[in-house]
Structure 1
Amino acid sequence: MKRIYVVGTADTKGEELAFLADAVTAAGAAVARVDVGTRGALVPVDIAAKEVASHHPQGTSAVLVTNDRGTAVAAMGEAFARFIESRDDVAGIIGIGGGGGTSIITSGMRRLSLGVPKIMVSTLASGDVAPYVDVSDIIMMPSVTDMAGLNRLSRVVLHNAAQAIAGMARTPAPAASGKPALGLTMFGVTTTCVTAIAEELRADYDCMVFHATGTGGRSMEKLADSGLISGVIDITTTEVCDLLFGGVLAATEDRFGAIARTKLPYVGSVGALDMVNFWAPETIPEKYRDRLFYRHNPNVTLMRTTAEECRAIGEWIGGRLNACEGLLRFLIPEKGVSALDIEGGAFFDPEANRALFEAIEATLKPAPNRRIQRLPLHINDPEFARAAVAAFREIAS
């Protein structure tokens, strides 16, 4: 039987944890009370902190036998993430916490598949929650008051949270049906291409377009890891530029990792690899001050990548794609990689592009499942979009 996991630090938030679990039970849901505290529980729980801590790679002692609170919180976060991944009865998860509890519990929430209901009632929920949510679908709910004993307001907040998680778990979203889902990456400077691809494939696929802003690429790969998409057309790989050269819309080192892990059919390209993104001009690092820039808007400034940088980008991408054992096609538009990289455009630089293309070809090891195709086209030419569609249909079939 699936249960709602009610999670908190029973050593410091025991009263609130018990109240929340009772409220979820009263709403008609089965619950599992989970303690992620690092000292003794003050209320009864179903899953003790010691059991959670045993999932740490170095065992229980790495979590519970330490006098340093920061170390214990970090270790419990890792243990809880591994613990929750091991469960097959999670109908939803709701957590309560301050700084430490929020860090621990959201570490586990982020490991769960998208679509599994997740609510975090937190004292931190009205601030910058990006480190806790990342690319997951966690709902951050402000506790308003600190959790230092129940009061008339905290009871209302916890009651509402209990009703929300119980309702979501009781009436889950209908299972996806019909067309398989397809992930695509797009930037403003590749919109023409990606829009044309999506229009061509929409009759057969549920096309999900992700803005290549760092979080966009990670969101798409999270869906891939969660088994929620059936293929990827990764036209816009620009996040790699920001990763390697300090831009503000960066991928992580795990870019393309989900493609390797899932072996999904994949068509990639070099969209917007001609640019690194920064905010307003005054935010640009001093070492780049003499470079070629394009002011996209008052808050976003683009820097043209050099031939040397393009070579490093190409080698990085090729190296990552070598780990992909699924069917893979990589298309190279010889006449330009973005709307700015076109003859007469602000970023037109055939020499830099040549370094990029040659580095990818030299690094990506030939294999029956992997193929590079050069096309005498610009990335936004209609013929390029049609070639990408044809490549995907070939490998998806």
Structure 2
Amino acid sequence: MAHIAYLIGTCDTKATELGYVRDLLQAAGLDTLIVDVSTSGAPPTGADISARVVAECHPDGAERVFTNDRGSAIAAMADALERFIKGRADIGGILGLGGSGGTALVTPAMRSLDIGVPKVMVSTVASGNVGSYVGPSDIAMIYSVTDVAGLNRISRNVLGNAAHALAGMMNGNRRDISDDKPAIGLSMFGVTTDCVTQVKEALDSDYDCLIFHATGTGGQSMEKLADCGMVSGLLDITTTEVCDLFMGGIFSAGDTRLDTLTHHDIPYVGSCGALDMVNFGPSDTLPETYRQRLIHAHNPHVTLMRTTVDENRQMGRWIGEKLNRSQGPVRFLLPEKGISALDAPGQPFHDPEADAALFDALEATVAQTKQRRIIRYPYHINDPEFAAMLVKHFREVMGEE
């Protein structure tokens, strides 16, 4: 297995820190390469791979990077670095150092690597909201405490911990993660847990079931694994992230949700789990325009809003259009008696009219074929009978039946 530690940073300002980390990693028995991503055009200092070599990976050439405009230069170098990293076959792990600009520059390249490749980012912004840097990847963010601007009693400790963390990841005797059972992805929310648990129990003997919490990055992570070929099929039971995309909730997975079906012929069974709700933060953060809507306090940190007939119709069309572009076998199941634990008789979000609008829009939009089908069932999403149908159709698209 490739076992070179790539150390990435701007050598015009951080050559000393990169050299310190390199020495610790080499003492731990690792081969290293320092990759310079400076955009100043200054002569290289202490780098094994110069900034110009990286910059030449930009599709418009190195001069697109060295513009003397910091903002555009960082963006262009980030693009070049991602392309450079994708072209390397000897990466055992990556450690990056930087402030806000350096973090924005290095982390896209980290995200382009497969899950499981060790990635450590020491950053001045790592104590804040790091979602935009980490995304659906497994980047370990370490707060630098002091600025990454020289060695001192604090930075030596933090950088030392980061170096030893990467060395441990790369040198550790990890159990072989390959498995005789193929891995599959399942999407879940608290209000669809009963369904997903039943499905998992039915498939556990034949599949390695990877469950993803549908909180935006959860859906992104599931699809990233599909894009990387690390899962063999998807049971996308909980597509609730589409609600937050359309209505501005906090758990959107972005407008690329379901795009893996367009790019790959991965077997897919989906459903409408929790499309009855949009997620917001504490109740006082609810947008003013939604204050008169049907609201449910899920917990002190999450406030739920019931989706309307029109919103469900809009989401149904959007999902249907995505399914129409699918390359592999698709089954999308509609639970007519409710799409979440809150959408059932006596529960606050029970709204058969809104559900019907969703189902009708899906059926009207999807061009059904032998390979791509929309199927209704007279069950609630958490009913054992519905879970059984999900399992049946999943085994079918996986070629078992």
1:121 aligned counterpart, secondary structure = strand
Question: Cα–Cα, structure 1 residues 376 and 125, in superposed 2: closer, same or farther, change >3 Å?
Answer: same
Q: Does the 8 A contact of 2:44 with 2:51 survive in 1?
A: no
Question: Cα–Cα, structure 1 residues 123 and 54, in superposed 2: closer, same or farther, change >3 Å?
Answer: same
Q: Does the 8 A contact of 2:3 with 2:30 survive in 1?
A: no
1:58 aligned counterpart, secondary structure = coil
Q: Please, which of 377, 385, 388 is the counterpart of residue 386 of structure 1? A: 388
> Who is 1:121 aligned against?
122
Counterparts in 2 of 1:307-326, with a 5 A limit? 307-326=309-328
Counterparts in 2 of 1:191-206, with a 5 A limit? 191-206=193-208
Match status 1:254 vs 2:256: yes
> Who is 2:352 aligned against?
350
> Who is 2:332 aligned against?
330
1:141 aligned counterpart, secondary structure = strand
> Who is 1:6 aligned against?
7
> Who is 2:151 aligned against?
150
2:13 aligned counterpart, secondary structure = coil
> Who is 1:27 aligned against?
28
TM superposition shift of 1:73: 1.2
> Who is 1:268 aligned against?
270
Counterparts in 2 of 1:33-182, with a 5 A limit? 33-39=34-40, 40-64=42-66, 66-171=67-172, 173=174, 174-182=176-184
The whole-number CA distance in structure 2 between the counterparts of 1:103 and 1:41 is 23
Q: Please, which of 285, 288, 291 is the counterpart of residue 289 of structure 1? A: 291
> Who is 1:18 aligned against?
19
The whole-number CA distance in structure 2 between the counterparts of 1:297 and 1:158 is 38
Q: Please, which of 235, 238, 244 is the counterpart of residue 246 of structure 2? A: 244
> Who is 2:308 aligned against?
306
The whole-number CA distance in structure 2 between the counterparts of 1:19 and 1:60 is 28
Q: Does the 8 A contact of 1:27 with 1:162 survive in 2?
A: no
1:207-250 deviation digits (Å, cap 9, x = unpaired) = 12111111211121122122222211011101101100111111
1:13-67 deviation digits (Å, cap 9, x = unpaired) = 1121222223222221111210001122452322111121122232212111x22
The whole-number CA distance in structure 1 between the counterparts of 2:234 and 2:311 is 26
Paired letter, 2:334: I
TM-score by length of 2: 0.94
Paired letter, 2:20: F
The whole-number CA distance in structure 1 between the counterparts of 2:36 and 2:29 is 22
The whole-number CA distance in structure 1 between the counterparts of 2:150 and 2:359 is 62
1:319 aligned counterpart, secondary structure = helix
The whole-number CA distance in structure 1 between the counterparts of 2:271 and 2:316 is 11
The whole-number CA distance in structure 2 between the counterparts of 1:274 and 1:301 is 13
TM superposition shift of 1:204: 1.1
TM superposition shift of 1:96: 1.3
Question: Cα–Cα, structure 1 residues 156 and 337, in superposed 2: closer, same or farther, change >3 Å?
Answer: closer
2:279 aligned counterpart, secondary structure = strand
Question: Cα–Cα, structure 1 residues 247 and 147, in superposed 2: closer, same or farther, change >3 Å?
Answer: closer
Question: Cα–Cα, structure 1 residues 150 and 279, in superposed 2: closer, same or farther, change >3 Å?
Answer: closer
State the Cα RMSD in Å: 1.7
Question: Cα–Cα, structure 1 residues 147 and 247, in superposed 2: closer, same or farther, change >3 Å?
Answer: closer
2:11 aligned counterpart, secondary structure = coil
Question: Cα–Cα, structure 1 residues 301 and 148, in superposed 2: closer, same or farther, change >3 Å?
Answer: closer
Where in structure 1 are there 5+ consecutive unaligned residues? none
Q: Does the 8 A contact of 1:15 with 1:43 survive in 2?
A: no
Question: Cα–Cα, structure 1 residues 106 and 366, in superposed 2: closer, same or farther, change >3 Å?
Answer: same
Q: Does the 8 A contact of 2:239 with 2:275 survive in 1?
A: yes
TM superposition shift of 1:2: 4.0
Paired letter, 2:149: A
The whole-number CA distance in structure 1 between the counterparts of 2:3 and 2:39 is 26
Paired letter, 2:189: F
Q: Please, which of 221, 229, 234 is the counterpart of residue 227 of structure 1? A: 229
Q: Does the 8 A contact of 2:3 with 2:170 survive in 1?
A: no
Where in structure 2 are there 5+ consecutive unaligned residues? none
Moved over 4 A (4+): none
TM superposition shift of 1:172: 5.8
Paired letter, 1:281: S
The whole-number CA distance in structure 1 between the counterparts of 2:323 and 2:53 is 39
Question: Cα–Cα, structure 1 residues 362 and 166, in superposed 2: closer, same or farther, change >3 Å?
Answer: same
Q: Does the 8 A contact of 2:242 with 2:315 survive in 1?
A: yes
The whole-number CA distance in structure 1 between the counterparts of 2:153 and 2:300 is 47
TM superposition shift of 1:263: 1.9
TM superposition shift of 1:374: 1.0
TM-score by length of 1: 0.95
Paired letter, 2:302: V
The whole-number CA distance in structure 1 between the counterparts of 2:345 and 2:152 is 67
Q: Does the 8 A contact of 2:185 with 2:222 survive in 1?
A: yes
Q: Does the 8 A contact of 2:36 with 2:44 survive in 1?
A: no
1:266-318 deviation digits (Å, cap 9, x = unpaired) = 10001111111122222221222221122222332211111111010001101
The whole-number CA distance in structure 1 between the counterparts of 2:148 and 2:226 is 37
The whole-number CA distance in structure 1 between the counterparts of 2:110 and 2:45 is 23
Moved more, 149-158 or 314-323: 149-158
